[in-house]
Amino acid sequence: MADLSLPGSTAAKRTISWPRIPPVVAVAILWVVAMLVVAILAEAIAPYGVTKMDLRNRLSAPGNAAHWLGTDELGRDVLSRLIFSIRISFLIAFGATAISAIVGTLLGFLAAHFRGLAEQAVLMLADFQASMPFLILALAVLAFFGSSLPLLIGLMGLYGWERYARIARGLAVSATGQGYASAVRQLGAAPSRIYLRHILPNIASTLIVSMTLVFPEVILLESGLSFLGLGVQPPMTSLGNMVGYGREYIGSAPWIMLTPAAIITLTTLAVSLIGDWLRDKLDPTLA
Amino acid sequence: MARYFAIRIGRAMITIALVVTFAFVVLRLSGDPALIIMGPEAPPEVIAAFRKAWGLDDPIWMQYFDYFGAIAKGELGRSMRDGRPAIALVLERIPATLTLTIPALLLKLAIGIPGGIFAALHRGSLIDRAVMIGAVAGFTVPSFVLGLVLVLIFAVQLGWLPSGGQETWRHAILPVFTLGIGGAAVLARFTRSAMLEVLGQSYIRTASAKGVSWRAVVLSHALPNAAIPTVTIIGFMVGTLIAGAVVVESVFSWPGVGRLLVVAVANRDLAVVQCILLLVAATMVTSNLIVDFLYGFLDPRLRSREAAGAH
């Protein structure tokens, strides 16, 4: 994890040659951007409301002029539900990834700055989190508190923080030993300034790569919980909810389940591909 | 050596203590445990008796220690739904879960390890690519999607296998495959990279250079060294034997621990949830401990490094 390059060479390494993006990664980026646009413009592009029923067109197959992706057993438009599901699933995944990155980095910095007991406590919590299956911890919290959207985002935000904390701590410890950090410190900068203005930009690329690795896992986790009926609650809908609900009709109307399942899979695949590529580009030291 | 084991056992105890603390904190934060565990319809005298029995009127730090004491004695509460001890409910579901997870683990090992070793030895070959693509798919396709697609193909379309339930051994085929395929891909990728790392080491080159046959180099130099990191991930898989089938059991209506957990969470049957949480923690910690012990035997360097770092 230690940066072996000389302090002066980091600036040169940072000028990334942007043009050569492999076609697969380009497609993955396009997919994620398309999903983001769909999530942001959901109201504008969804042909129907989430709960709007068309009772004369129940369980109609895809390819229908009024309902491109068909309808479910209440005559609700699958495409519209899909669009709003993408919005909720992305909202949770982005919110959670941001929370865990901020919390993890902060704890990592605190550990690096104070060392001693604080560091031991953070590392112990990180070990604990890494050794327990997160799904079980999440289910326990949901059992005690019930499910709601803010709780779900906060809960998913606890996923993966230990990875940022370990990375931030390790990199901050090695950065403190480098010339630039001690130079600013001797100029009288406060610790918060050193960490946020000087060390953070230098380790940002590694943290961003970690975010692209955690993001698909959060999507999988949320869709799993929602699939079990314990995540996002109706009338709100998420991709996992749609799959869980569509499985009742797997024999008669498989499209209800297959379309959201495909979106989940393609999105996690796309973000993982982008993450792998970014890792090779920005930080080959990450395993 | 003794020190190495003592540190590992100490860490395991700390993890268990953290899980118990987690359960305690979450339980206290979510409201009055007496009302939650006994239910809102419980008569006041029952609530009062519960408060007294669990010491809910004591100061919080005393409650915390009492909570530890109760768990140490195996008092894990009763299910809100049928009044039976939570631990009994959980224990009777374990065989059903193991019926899925043990064959699935064997499947993962049987496909994943040879696949990973082969891929590493024939880097860039067709099998290597298949392993890498399979590993990506194993990570990106959620288990419930894989399970439902298998149901769609083999139960709905072809009608070869049942889609859910637990009546015969044929009912176990789809869930075992759903659990096994994804894990096999992950294990293959891990084994492959462990092997590649070892094959790039200088002692492999030295062994080849002094005329040892490639076969012997692989068998007696590469494999034992690649086994060390691979054991970690296998240990993690063993640790999830009880908790790793939550989603898959739900897909296939399999009456195991995972299904019990989902139903208990939906009904907020807290004693059962707490009991499963502690059981899972105990399993994970035990398997991690076994892995650490195996490390001690597999990798003599680890022992001496620990001893060297002791001063």
Q: B224 or A12, which is more confident?
A: B224
Give me the count of residues in chain A: 287
Position A5 scores a pLDDT of 47
Question: Higher-confidence residue: B83 or A209?
Answer: A209
Which of A136, A230, A240 is the closest to B277 by Cβ?
A: A136
| CB-based contact, A31 to chain B, within 8 Å | no
d(CA A160, CA A214): 6
Judged against a pLDDT cut of 60, whether residue B184 lies above it is answered with yes
Per-residue 3-state assignment (H helix, E strand, C coil) for chain B? CHHHHHHHHHHHHHHHHHHHHHHHHHHHHCCCHHHHHHCCCCCHHHHHHHHHHCCCCCCHHHHHHHHHHHHHCCCCCECCCCCCEHHHHHHHHHHHHHHHHHHHHHHHHHHHHHHHHHHHHCCCCHHHHHHHHHHHHHHHCCHHHHHHHHHHHHHHHCCCCCCCCCCCCHHHHHHHHHHHHHHHHHHHHHHHHHHHHHHCCHHHHHHHHCCCCHHHHHHHHHHHHHHHHHHHHHHHHHHCCCCCCHHHHHHCCCCCHHHHHHHHHHHCCHHHHHHHHHHHHHHHHHHHHHHHHHHHHHCHHHHHHHHHCCC
Question: Are A256 and A248 spatial neighbours (Cβ–Cβ below 8 Å)?
Answer: no
The reported pLDDT for the residue numbered A101 is: 93
Distance in angstroms (rounded) separating the CA atoms of residues B258 and A230: 13
User: Would you call B29 and A257 a contact, using CB atoms and an 8 Å cutoff?
Assistant: no
| ipTM beyond cut 0.85 | no
Nearby residues of A201 by Cβ (< 8 Å), 6 or more positions away:
none
What is the Cα–Cα distance from A173 to A21, expressed in whole angstroms? 33
Q: What is the spatial distance between Cα B255 and Cα B258, in angstroms, rounded to a whole number?
A: 8
Amino acid, single-letter form, for residue B273 = V
User: What SS3 class is residue A89?
Assistant: helix
- Ramachandran sector of residue A116 (left: φ over 0; alpha: ψ -120 to 50; beta: rest): left
The tokens of B212 are what?
Answer: 């040892």
Q: What pLDDT is attached to residue A96? A: 93
Tell me the pLDDT band of B54, cut-offs 50, 70 and 90.
Answer: low
Whether B233 contacts chain A with CB within 8 A: no
Chain A nearest-CA residue for B146: A261
Could you tell me if B36 lies within 8 Å of chain A, comparing CB atoms? yes
Mean pLDDT across B100-110: 91
> Rounded to whole angstroms, how far apart are CA atoms B12 and A209?
31
Q: Can you tell me the distance from the alpha carbon of B172 to that of B104, in angstroms, rounded to the nearest whole number? A: 10
**How far is the C-alpha of B87 from the C-alpha of B21, rounded, in Å?**
19
A and B: number of Cβ contacts within 8 A: 123
CB atoms under 10 Å from CB of B53, counted, come to 11
Predicted confidence at residue A122, as pLDDT, reads 87
Nearest CB among B14, B26, B145 relative to A264 is that of B145
A176 CB within 8 Å of a chain B CB:
no
Residues B271, B76: contact at Cβ < 8 Å?
A: yes
Q: Do A139 and B284 touch (CB under 8 A)?
A: no
B285 touches chain A (CB under 8 A): yes
pLDDT in tens, B15-44: 888 888 888 887 777 666 666 666 667 777
- In the beta sheet, which residues pair with residue B85? B78
Q: Which of A217, A219, A228, A263 to mutate against chain B (most B CBs within 10 Å)?
A: A228
Largest CA distance in chain B: 83
Q: What pTM was computed for the model?
A: 0.81
pLDDT at B75 over 60: yes
Name the residue among A34, A71, A100, A21 with its Cα closest to residue A273: A21
- Structure tokens that stand for B87 in this block: 């631990």
Q: Please give the residue of chain B at the shortest CA–CA distance from A254.
A: B152
Distance from C-alpha of A96 to C-alpha of A153, rounded to nearest angstrom? 5
Cβ atoms of B269 and B164 closer than 8 Å: no
Q: What is the mean pLDDT of chain B?
A: 81
State the amino acid at position A126 in one-letter form.
A
**Cβ A26 vs Cβ A19: under 8 Å:** no
Give the torsion sign (CA, A262, A264, A268, A274).
positive
Nearest CA in chain B to A270: B140
Task: Judge whether B284 is closer than 8 Å to chain A, CB to CB.
Answer: yes
**One-character DSSP codes across A186-227:** HTT--HHHIIIIIIHHHHHHHHHHHHHHHHHHHHHHHHHHHH
**Alpha carbon distances (Å) from A282 to A5, A267, A268:** 14, 22, 20
Closest CA to B155 of B137, B134, B139, B177: B177
Q: Are B238 and B105 in contact (CB under 8 A)?
A: yes
Cα–Cα distance, A246 to A72 (Å, whole number): 8
Say which residues have a Cβ less than 8 Å from residue A197's Cβ, sequence separation at least 6.
A189
pLDDT in tens, chain A (287 residues): 444 444 444 444 555 555 578 888 899 999 999 999 988 887 877 777 777 777 777 777 777 766 677 777 777 788 888 888 899 999 999 999 999 999 999 999 888 888 888 888 888 888 888 778 888 888 888 887 878 888 889 989 989 888 889 888 888 888 777 777 777 777 877 777 888 877 888 788 888 888 888 898 899 999 999 998 888 888 888 888 888 888 888 878 888 888 899 999 999 999 988 888 887 777 655 54
* pLDDT per position as a tens digit, B226-281: 887 788 888 888 888 888 788 899 888 888 899 999 888 888 777 888 888 888 88
pLDDT at position A187, please? 82
B265 touches chain A (CB under 8 A): yes
Residue type, B14: I
- Does the pLDDT of residue B118 top 90, yes or no? no
Q: Which of A133, A142, A264 sits opposite B142 (nearest CB)?
A: A264
Query: Cα angle at B240 between B236 and B246, to 5 degrees?
Result: 145
Whole-number pLDDT of residue A264: 92
Find residues 130-149 of chain B whose CB sits inside 8 Å of chain A: 136, 139-145, 148-149
- Note the pLDDT of residue B309: 45
Chain Cα centroid distance, residue A138 = 16
Are B128 and B195 in contact, with CB atoms under 8 Å apart? no
The type of residue at A99 is I
Task: Give the residue-averaged pLDDT of B145-165.
Answer: 84
